[in-house]
Amino acid sequence: MTNLLAGLFDIVVAAAMILVFFRFMLQFAGITAKDAFAKPIYRMTRIVDVFGRIFPTLGDGRINTASLVLLFLLRMIFIWGVLGMMRINSQNIGLFYMPEVNLAMVDYLSRHFSPVMMFFVAAVTLLIDFLRMCQYIIIGSFIGGWVMLFTQKMPAIFGLLTLLSEPIIQPFRKVLPATGMLDLAPMLGFFLIILLETLVQTVGVYLLTL
């Protein structure tokens, strides 16, 4: 029964966070609900609009702080649920899918709990997952580019991922502009985001264990 509850809790919270993440990225990329693939996500994340009455949207409507706040609250709920399962049996942490560093931080939190530490762990693990999702979006745009190259057609889902990757990659194009058909900015962005994720992990673990 514990395994079932942990699995359901993990899936439900993870699915909700993925939806809210994509809602944030859709607005960040300037993709409206008129897009066929974006429309269902906007519909399923209407709660973001409720939060939007309290938290402002910045950057000409592209940075939805309500989505970020909701992501943080969902992460707090997730960590609270994991800690609850660990109170039953400390080994229950293994029932949840998280990157290894996130597991280690939550495990440390369970042994040295404080509200401030929980806030810190939620923020750091959320940032790690956010950066990882950005990497997946860039990978999706890579795949879409290869599909387009060999088939001369861009499947709609890959087209959407390409649009989502644009605001992530755009700052790197200022450093490494495209030369003809060669665009190395996505690769540069991908590796720098990996480095940033590693830095966040290292600094996060260091500060947590001070």
User: Residues 132-164: pLDDT tens digits?
Assistant: 999 999 999 888 888 877 887 877 788 888 899
Distances (CA, A) of 98 to 102, 107, 148, 169, 181: 6, 12, 33, 26, 38
Residue with tokens 């673990």: 205
Instruction: Answer for the pair 54, 44: CB distance below 8 angstroms, yes or no.
Output: no
Instruction: Collapse the DSSP code of 182 into the 3-class scheme (helix H, G, I; strand E, B; otherwise coil) and give the result.
Output: strand
Say which residues have a Cβ less than 8 Å from residue 93's Cβ, sequence separation at least 6. 82, 85, 86, 103, 106, 107, 110
Widest CA span of the chain, in angstroms? 59
Residue 18 has pLDDT above 90, yes or no: yes
Instruction: Answer for the pair 26, 34: CB distance below 8 angstroms, yes or no.
Output: no
Give the strand pairing for 63-64 and 57-58. Answer: antiparallel
| pLDDT at residue 193 in the model | 96
Residue 89 has pLDDT above 80, yes or no: no
Residue 109 has pLDDT above 90, yes or no: yes
Q: In sequence order, what E strands does 22-163 have? A: 57-58, 63-64
Bridge partners, residue 18, by sequence: none
Write out the two tokens for 195. 């480095």
| pLDDT at residue 96 in the model | 80
- Which one has a higher pLDDT value, 149 or 37? 37
| pLDDT at residue 7 in the model | 82
d(CA 109, CA 28) in angstroms, rounded, equals: 32
Say which residues have a Cβ less than 8 Å from residue 39's Cβ, sequence separation at least 6. 33
| pLDDT at residue 1 in the model | 58
190-196 mean pLDDT? 96
Say which residues have a Cβ less than 8 Å from residue 117's Cβ, sequence separation at least 6. 109, 208
pTM confidence score: 0.91
Residue 180 has pLDDT above 70, yes or no: no
| pLDDT at residue 157 in the model | 82
Residue 178 has pLDDT above 80, yes or no: no
